[in-house]
Amino acid sequence: MTLNRPTEDPVAQDPGWVDDVLFAGHPTDVCLRLPEPVRRDTLHRLVTEAQTRLTAAGLRPGGAAALRLPPSLAYVVNLLATWRSGAQAILLDHRLTDHEVDRALERLTPQVVVAPVRTGGGALRVFVDVTEGITPYADRPAVSGHAVIQLSSGSTGPSKVIGRTAADLVAEVHRYTRIDGVALPGERLILLPSMVHVLGLVGGLLYGLHAGVELVPPERLGGDAVLAAIAAQDTPATVLGVPFHIGLLASTRSDGPLPQFRRMTTGGELVPPAVAQAFADRFGVPLGNMYGMTEVGVIGTDLHGRHRPSITPAPGIEVRESAGELLIGCPASPYVGLSDPTRWSDGWLHTRDAGLVDPATGLVTIRGRLDSQVSVGGLKVDLTEVEATLAALPGVGAAVVVYDDGITAYVQPDGPLSEELLDKLLAERLAGFKRPRVLHLVAQLPRTTTGKLVRSVAALRTAAP
């Protein structure tokens, strides 16, 4: 497969990479099934029409469009239309609160914002029917020359705003074509992760469009619906998801064998061995693992399940170990408006993941996070963001947030306060997957002799009533 590779500042250059890479297949091929089939020529027409609407609303080459859309055909169409317009796409998870979105928009100043004016379908639908509206926002160029801006962990702090060029996205699509075990042309990809985030965006949408792999989001996020999507056609199917989905499928009964089911691939946190074994016993297909980051996309894989929990670096990716931390070769800093040597320096991205690199085999073993990020249902949450949000609330004197079988917050009041009020205030400021599942009001949080808050789970449990 030949991929065109735009050079520097792709937003300001010819955006033809979208057609070259993503629309190169036969016009009558089905590329999406939602559940109605969407052909390439139909998608191309919808994208062209969306370009006209975006231009009329004020989007210009070198500008930016913020997409605040749930998984939908409207999301796919407006994303591709933004890129074909020579503009930057700012991807905002539709689950973020208005408070979080407003902070992001103030910093990133898109020319237009695309958001739903009507949404149909139940809460558990993977793809929904959306009628979108386009609102002018700021008459300014994009804050950077990146093709896409993503917010890791949903944070609006500078260290969490990540930009990737069109050349970088195309290079990642090219990596997928060289990985043994990915879905092949003519096959189907049952897509469960959100296409706002890197696994669903590049590993699902962009790779599928380029390689001629039919993307099939199940109608609903349930084991029965996923198995029904696999069984709906005779062509081979790979399921792409996160560890939550493995347990979901392993516990779902089916009416018979599924010869179309070829493999399941997961990203996110490591799969517990017992869950992996239950899945293998249930379906008898390979359970593959994929490791990546928003900053660089896919880093390594073990799609045949031969090396669990280790992975093989993806083609073209260089991984090294330094003081127990995994570093990834990255020519330029992916962070927008940030120069932080603790995250990127001298061509190396600091993953803040603990790990080992076997010098003999090159296999990489991830040991877990070095920093405060945790994974909730496949979505990364930065506990420092949750803690800072808590500490800024009225009536809160101090707060510590830890992960203790779920996000748990210990709060020292500074005035009248209740758990109910805290929960209400947090619901206005944080997306649901970020909010603490347990809140403890503590008269006095434990501190060290130097006055620092103690973060030991055992000590915090003792301090809580």
DSSP string of 233-286?
A: SSS-EEEEE-HHHHHHHHT---SS--TTEEEEEE-SSPPPHHHHHHHHHHH-S-
Judged against a pLDDT cut of 50, whether residue 77 lies above it is answered with yes
- Using a 10 angstrom Cβ sphere, with 0-12 exposed, 13-18 middle and 19 or more buried, the burial of residue 352 is middle
Q: What is the pTM of this model?
A: 0.82
Q: For strand 30-33 and strand 37-39, is the pairing parallel, antiparallel, or unpaired?
A: antiparallel
Sign of dihedral through CA atoms 207, 209, 212, 213?
A: positive
Answer yes or no: are the C-beta atoms of 47 and 22 closer than 8 Å.
no
Nearest to 124 by CA among 220, 195, 218, 244: 220
Percentage above 70 pLDDT, the chain: 91
Judged against a pLDDT cut of 60, whether residue 451 lies above it is answered with no
Band (156; pLDDT cuts 50, 70, 90): very low
Q: Of 109-123, 272-286, 447-461, where does mean pLDDT reach its minimum?
A: 447-461
Percentage above 90 pLDDT, the chain: 63
| Tokens encoding 352 | 């803040």
Euclidean distance between CA atoms 89 and 10, whole angstroms: 12
The pLDDT value recorded for residue 119 is 82
Helix (H, G, I), strand (E, B) or coil at 168: helix
On the question of a cis peptide bond just before residue 313, with omega within 30 degrees of 0, the verdict is no
Euclidean distance between CA atoms 17 and 21, whole angstroms: 6
| Residue-wise pLDDT tens digits, 158-171 | 337 999 999 999 99
Residue 172's φ and ψ, nearest 5 degrees, are: -70, -40
For residues 179-201, give the mean pLDDT.
94
The pLDDT value recorded for residue 457 is 87
Judged against a pLDDT cut of 70, whether residue 70 lies above it is answered with yes
Of residues 78 and 124, more confidently modeled: 78
Judged against a pLDDT cut of 50, whether residue 49 lies above it is answered with yes
Mean pLDDT is highest, among 201-215, 257-271, 335-349, 441-455, for: 201-215
| Tokens encoding 296 | 């660089």
Judged against a pLDDT cut of 80, whether residue 5 lies above it is answered with no
Q: Of 90-104, 141-155, 177-191, where does mean pLDDT reach its minimum?
A: 141-155
Neighbours of 350 (CB within 10 A): 20
Nearest to 200 by CA among 216, 222, 179, 181: 216
For residues 94-105, give the mean pLDDT.
90
DSSP β-bridge partners for residue 376: 379
| Residue-wise pLDDT tens digits, 356-371 | 999 999 999 987 667 6
Query: Which ranges of 96-220 would DSSP assign to H, the alpha helix?
Result: 98-108, 166-177, 198, 207-211
The pLDDT value recorded for residue 308 is 83
For residues 127-142, give the mean pLDDT.
94
Helix (H, G, I), strand (E, B) or coil at 422: helix
The pLDDT value recorded for residue 60 is 96
Give whole-number Cα distances, 88 to 48, 159, 195, 257, 426, in Å: 16, 19, 16, 45, 31
Report which residue type is found at 453.
L
Whole-number average pLDDT of the chain: 88
Nearest to 162 by CA among 30, 308, 293, 11: 293
Band (429; pLDDT cuts 50, 70, 90): very high
Band (13; pLDDT cuts 50, 70, 90): low
Domains of the chain (ranges plus CATH)? 10-173 (3.40.50.980), 377-463 (3.30.300.30)
Report which residue type is found at 153.
S
For residues 259-277, give the mean pLDDT.
82
Answer yes or no: are the C-beta atoms of 372 and 152 closer than 8 Å.
no
DSSP β-bridge partners for residue 348: 329, 345
Q: Of 3-12, 29-38, 277-286, where does mean pLDDT reach its minimum?
A: 3-12
Band (7; pLDDT cuts 50, 70, 90): very low
Euclidean distance between CA atoms 261 and 131, whole angstroms: 34
The pLDDT value recorded for residue 108 is 95
From first CA to last CA, the distance across the chain in angstroms is 62
